[in-house]
């Protein structure tokens, strides 16, 4: 395993991606005006895609999206659609804003000057701004620039907030979830187990000889060992399982929908995987681990503390027996009523 192996759940903020060309969907049934609008936005450095009907607009959004902004004509007659079944600009607006994946798309409606009711209907349908025909090109460009500037700032804020949220539940050293995230997910799994009557298991493991690594090679090298161990453990887990750094040289593994038999197999796989040397910063280390294992039947237990205490007791027994093994705690908890 590479010495710099690190499991990461953090989104990567790529400066080049953040500065990529913003894209605008032009939805206008008048071919000449559609082409003019495309040239206008392209001259300002924006990317453009065009659509002539509401149906085509929805298809372009699904297939070529997402777009930063949709320049949307209210009136969108569709000669190929049966009478009364065409998709006008208002419906396009509603569908975009009604889709959780597209709701942040800015919509700029275009309507004729003598139809103010369309403006109100468009705003009610979710449009963010409007302009009337015939429009002033300078004003149109100014509005588009202002809206896309706001959109870029919003996107950057969302990305940064997401990064901060991830950092709050991620261990800074190993890149895997931290103790806080483990406890939150454990509480969720307890509720799920009680509701759907499914079993789950919890593993706590501790590196038996980690102090020797730190004493011999220093704490900096010990950090590389912890990263490599985390990678080795993670390789054999399912996507639905959760590996977290419990603290120090201890790790926790939450095994969802896993009974005693399944959890024992996972513990054995971890021991087998760590029986091979762990490569960390160019050095090989034989790492021994003690594993505490406990499984819970549907409807058990009542709290996260109950799970952690049981798993910790199992870990203590594994270390008491000499370490480098797992200990399954036979613990019967009182049954609770399903939620």
pLDDT in tens, 203-260: 999 999 899 998 899 999 999 999 999 999 998 899 999 999 998 999 999 999 999 9
Q: Which of 73, 88, 249, 312 is catalytic?
A: 249
Q: What is the pLDDT of residue 339?
A: 37
Q: Is 225 within 8 Å of 280 (Cβ atoms)?
A: yes
Would you state the structure tokens that stand for residue 27, as one six-digit string? 């939805």
Average pLDDT over residues 311-322: 95
Confidence of residue 88 (pLDDT cuts 50, 70, 90): confident
CA-CA distances (angstroms) from residue 137 to 114, 123, 132? Answer: 19, 22, 11
What's the pTM?
A: 0.60
pLDDT of residue 40: 92
Distance CA 283, CA 168 (A): 31
Rounded distance between C-alpha atoms, residue 86 and residue 76, angstroms: 8
Q: For the domain made up of 15-167, give the CATH fold.
A: Rossmann fold (3.40.50)
* Tens-place pLDDT, residues 147-167: 888 888 888 888 888 888 888
Pairing assessment for the beta strands 250-255 and 200-207 based on DSSP bridges: antiparallel
The yes-or-no verdict on residue 7 having pLDDT over 80 is: no
Q: Domain-by-domain residue ranges, the chain? A: 15-167, 179-328
The arrangement of secondary structure in 179-328, i.e. its CATH architecture, is 2-Layer Sandwich (3.30)
DSSP assigned state of 19: T
Torsion of CA 319, 323, 325, 327, to 10 degrees: -10
Strands 242-247 and 129-133: unpaired
How far is residue 56 from each of residues 49, 140, 172, 186, measured CA to CA in Å?
11, 23, 46, 46
Q: Output DSSP code: residue 309.
A: H
Q: Using the 8-state DSSP alphabet, how is residue 177 labeled? A: B
Q: What is the pLDDT of residues 96-152, one digit of tens each?
A: 998 888 888 899 988 886 677 878 888 898 899 888 888 888 999 999 999 888 888
Q: In what side-by-side order are the strands of the sheet with 200-207?
A: 242-247, 250-255, 200-207, 289-296, 325-328
DSSP 8-class letter at 324? S
pLDDT at residue 203, rounded to an integer: 97
What whole-number distance in Å separates Cα of residue 108 and Cα of residue 92? 12
Let me know if 249 is a catalytic residue: yes
Other C-beta atoms closer than 10 Å to the C-beta of 195 total: 12
């Amino acid at each position: 395993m590479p010495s710099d192996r690190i499991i990461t759940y953090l989104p990567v903020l790529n400066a080049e991606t953040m500065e990529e060309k913003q894209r605008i969907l032009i939805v206008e049934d008048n071919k000449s005006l559609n082409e003019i609008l495309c040239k206008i936005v392209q001259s300002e450095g924006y990317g453009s895609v065009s659509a002539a009907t509401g149906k085509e607009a929805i298809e372009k959004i699904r297939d070529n999206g997402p777009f930063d902004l949709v320049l949307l004509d209210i009136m969108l007659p569709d000669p190929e659609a049966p009478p009364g079944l065409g998709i006008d600009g208002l419906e396009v607006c509603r569908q975009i804003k009604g889709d959780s994946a597209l709701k942040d798309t800015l919509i700029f409606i275009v309507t004729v000057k003598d139809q103010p009711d369309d403006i109100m209907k468009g705003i009610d349908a979710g449009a963010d701004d409007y302009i009337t025909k015939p429009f002033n090109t300078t004003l149109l460009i100014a509005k588009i620039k202002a809206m896309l500037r706001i959109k870029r700032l919003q996107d950057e804020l969302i990305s940064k907030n997401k990064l901060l949220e991830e950092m709050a539940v991620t261990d800074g050293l190993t890149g895997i979830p931290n103790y806080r995230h483990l406890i939150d997910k454990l509480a969720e799994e307890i509720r799920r187990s009680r509701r759907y009557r499914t079993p789950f298991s919890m593993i706590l493991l501790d590196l038996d000889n980690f102090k020797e690594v730190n004493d011999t090679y220093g704490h900096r090298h010990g950090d590389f060992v912890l990263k490599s161990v985390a990678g080795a453990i993670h390789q054999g887990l399912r996507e639905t399982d959760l590996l977290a750094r419990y603290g120090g040289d201890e790790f926790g593994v939450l095994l969802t929908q896993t009974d005693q038999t399944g959890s024992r197999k996972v513990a054995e796989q971890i021991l087998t995987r760590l029986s091979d040397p762990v490569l960390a910063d160019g050095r090989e280390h034989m790492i021994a681990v003690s594993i505490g294992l406990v499984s819970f039947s549907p409807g058990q237990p009542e709290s996260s503390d109950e799970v952690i205490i049981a798993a910790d007791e199992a870990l203590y027994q594994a270390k008491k027996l000499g370490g480098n093994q797992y200990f399954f705690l036979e613990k019967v908890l009182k049954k609770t009523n399903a939620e």
